[in-house]
């Protein structure tokens, strides 16, 4: 469930952190909240834009990720992260 994942992201900050793979790249999640959503495949990126942040479907609900980091990069708000690493239409594993 998205609520459990959101709590784990908070609990594991800053170490060891929480991450997921996107196109063979580990993306670290720093800040997220659980939200309600329709019927999507878990891991599917529902939205990825400056207004919504990164919305990822979970088994129950969705995770709105508002702060992310790619390997070797800085911790960034979703709007800034998406300028250099588009996620729209992709899938996390």
Proportion of the chain above pLDDT 70, given as a percent: 100
pLDDT-derived band at 64, boundaries 50, 70, 90? very high
pLDDT band at 16 (very low <50, low <70, confident <90, very high): very high
**Cis status, amide bond into 16, omega within 30 of 0:** yes
pTM: 0.91
Question: CA separation (Å) from 90 to 7, 8, 11?
Answer: 24, 23, 26
pLDDT for position 54 = 96
Q: How far is CA 41 from CA 19, 28, 59, in A?
A: 18, 21, 8
List C-alpha distances in Å: 13 to 3, 59, 67: 16, 22, 12
Average pLDDT over residues 58-83: 96
Question: Token pair of 11, please?
Answer: 């609990």
The more confident residue out of 27 and 88 is: 27
């Amino acid at each position: 469930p998205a609520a459990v994942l959101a709590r784990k992201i908070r609990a594991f900050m800053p170490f060891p952190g929480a991450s997921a793979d996107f196109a063979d790249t580990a993306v670290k999640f720093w800040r997220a909240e659980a939200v309600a959503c329709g019927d999507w495949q878990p891991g599917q990126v529902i939205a990825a834009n400056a207004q919504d942040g990164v919305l990822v479907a979970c088994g129950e609900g969705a995770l709105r990720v508002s702060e992310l980091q790619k390997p070797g990069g800085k911790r960034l708000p979703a709007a800034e992260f998406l300028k250099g690493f588009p996620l729209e239409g992709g899938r996390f594993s």
